[in-house]
Amino acid sequence: MSSAIVITTSQDLEGQRITHYLGIVRGIVVRAPGIGRSFLGSLKRIVGGNIGSYESVCDEARQLAFQRMVDHAAQTGATAVIAIRYDATEFMPGVTEVLCYGTAVRTVPRT
């Protein structure tokens, strides 16, 4: 049996039966772009278009929040995390919290 944790946005897992609901697991990251990225992003805002330097900050934050959620799930003994979601909140100008969360569960194959 694989020790990898299955992650899904759905409420169930095809071919698996949920035996235990272990609770909510989450990963939180608070990020602000560095001065170089902020400067480049500010220049890009003037001319318009996609702001790649901000995009990479957001992607890095989402990836780290996801990994922290998976680590939290592993600590609970979960075999899967269902119903995962992302949320982001700017709580200071230029400072954003990224949250990845879901429900940790244990599953067995359906028979």
Is residue 79, in this structure, part of any structural domain at all?
yes
Is residue 71, in this structure, part of any structural domain at all?
yes
Residue 90 has a pLDDT of 87
Strand order in 16-31's β-sheet?
6-7, 80-92, 95-109, 16-31
Is residue 90, in this structure, part of any structural domain at all?
yes
Angle, vertex CA 59, rays to CA 77 and CA 26, nearest 5 = 25
Q: Which domain holds residue 73?
A: 6-109
CATH code, domain carrying 59: 3.30.110.70
Is residue 1, in this structure, part of any structural domain at all?
no
pTM: 0.81
Is residue 33, in this structure, part of any structural domain at all?
yes
- Spatial distance between the Cα atoms of 92 and 16, rounded to a whole number of angstroms: 42
43 pLDDT higher than 70: no
Is residue 72, in this structure, part of any structural domain at all?
yes
pLDDT tens digit string along 19-28?
A: 999 999 999 9
> CB count, 10 Å around CB of 29?
19
Question: In the predicted model, what is the mean pLDDT of the chain?
Answer: 84
Split into its structural domains, the chain has a count of: 1
Give whole-number Cα distances, 93 to 19, 32, 83, 89, in Å. 44, 9, 30, 11
41 pLDDT higher than 70: no
